[in-house]
A and B are shown apart, each in its own frame.
Chain A
Amino acid sequence: MIALLIRDLKQATRAGGGFGLGLAFFLIVTILVPFGVGPESATLALIAPGVLWVGALLSCLLSLDRVFALDFEDGSLDLLATAPIPLEAVVGLKALAHWLVTGVPLTLIAPMLGVLLNLPSGGYIWLLASLGLGTPALSMIGAFGAALTVGLKRGGLLLSLLVLPLYVPTLIFGAEALRRGTAGLENTTPLLMLAGITAASVALLPFAAAAAIRVNLR
């Protein structure tokens, strides 16, 4: 199982693997926002939590269609489906790999981008906490979407249409946790809900995703 994980990580980080694309996109979006809404610091500080969360969420989307596509195309997904490791575990590992390669880096550079958007100083710890808790859910939900669309050529756009509505609860609780924490308010509820969503997604979605993959491999 570890070997599988390492293989996926290597695949994602080698040249042409798209690593860094998500980070670059996150950066670009963050830079574009002030051009769109004006450079007024107070405005930026107000919208920074939301913009950072939306930016991270969209950046996660970028590499989702690769989660299963490469293995599907060269037939390895068939092998994995019939291997002794349960397909559900394979799905979980691929989601984990996606998180390690996309979610974690996004979370780590977010504070820098927070500076660009004038995020108040109290917010940085909550930025890390909310993204850290929420990005695994984004990867897992995204993996489910990728499993649904793996058989489609050009499934990327449909993948976004399917996944983005599923992202809404995560986004709401994540951004609220960040916003309230930044303002110094009590944010335990959204943080707990966020953790709950991540836990439930990781526990249950692999089954749905594995079912979808089996359907697509028929």
Chain B
Amino acid sequence: MSLWEYANPKKFMQTSAVVLPIFAVFALVTLLTGLVWGFFFTPDDYRQGATVKIIFLHVPAALMAINAWMMMLVTSLIWLVRRHHVSALAAKAAAPIGLTMTVIALITGAVWGQPMWGTWWAWDPRLTSFLILFLFYLGYIALWEAVENPDTAADLTSVLCLVGSVFAILSRYAVNFWNQGLHQGATLSLDAETNIDNAFYLPLLAAIAGFVSLFIALVLLRTQTEIRRRRMQAILARERLG
């Protein structure tokens, strides 16, 4: 049973109909567990106060923001090489989810830095990289919307995703270079993973699991919608030709 079977739209629809509810429920359970546990049952940090609670949103969202783009990269490559429409549509479906994750990462990241920076925003290398990622997502989604022919759109957005990925990595390096220079502000490490206490670790894991399942569930749902949309457009086009 090869993974490529799911490239067949029908098979995808059948399988996802079964699998989607499972991921949805799992997402709900793990998210609630992680967030409730993290919010109500963890101590405050001596330095960051209650803002350390933001970690349960920020870290999973940031992880998903990156992972969503990587998934889009892989599915774009599959589309370019093997021309499986399900793959192209999955990339299209994932983009708004990744965009939302990026926005959540930005908001939570900025706000979490308040105790350190004293402002609502700082051009911290991490945050800045996510801001650039936000722009990449916007451009990708805008290109899908702008091109009429779905196959052309799939091709162009795939190329954009590829080139964009290279530049995104390059930007990460550039931004680190840019911010290490004359900036004397506190370099806040939002990488609390390194000094994370057990008290935080488990609810964080739950939250991460929740975000991952949420992402999968939403991608499955949205890809189903895209497949149906494509089928509708095909039928309507055939009818018009008469």
Direct contact of A and B (CB under 8 A): yes
B160 in contact with A176 (CB, 8 Å) = no
B120 within 8 A of A: no
| Among B155, B156, B162, residue most surrounded by chain A Cβ atoms (within 10 Å) | B156
A199 cross-chain contacts in B, Cβ below 8 A: none
A168 CA / B139 CA spacing, docked (Å) = 14
A164 in contact with B135 (CB, 8 Å) = yes
Binary contact readout B32-44 vs A (1 if CB under 8 angstroms, 0 otherwise): 0000000000000
Interface size on A, residues (CB 8 A): 29
A151 within 8 A of B: yes
B170 within 8 A of A: yes
Interface residues of B in 162-206 (CB under 8 A from A): 162-164, 167, 170-171, 173-175, 177-178, 181
Interface class of chain A by DSSP? helix
B146 in contact with A168 (CB, 8 Å) = no
A208 in contact with B162 (CB, 8 Å) = yes
A211 in contact with B174 (CB, 8 Å) = no
A11 CA / B160 CA spacing, docked (Å) = 28
A97 CA / B132 CA spacing, docked (Å) = 29
A173 in contact with B152 (CB, 8 Å) = no
Min C-beta distance of A117 to chain B, whole Å = 19
Interface residues of B in 112-167 (CB under 8 A from A): 132, 135-136, 138-139, 142-143, 146-147, 152, 155-156, 159-160, 162-164, 167
Q: What are 16 A-B pairs at a CB distance below 8 A?
A: A148-B143, A152-B146, A165-B132, A165-B136, A165-B171, A168-B132, A168-B171, A168-B174, A169-B173, A176-B177, A189-B177, A197-B170, A212-B156, A215-B159, A216-B152, A216-B156
Counting from the closest, the 5 A-B pairs by CB-CB distance are A165-B135, A169-B174, A172-B174, A215-B155, A162-B139
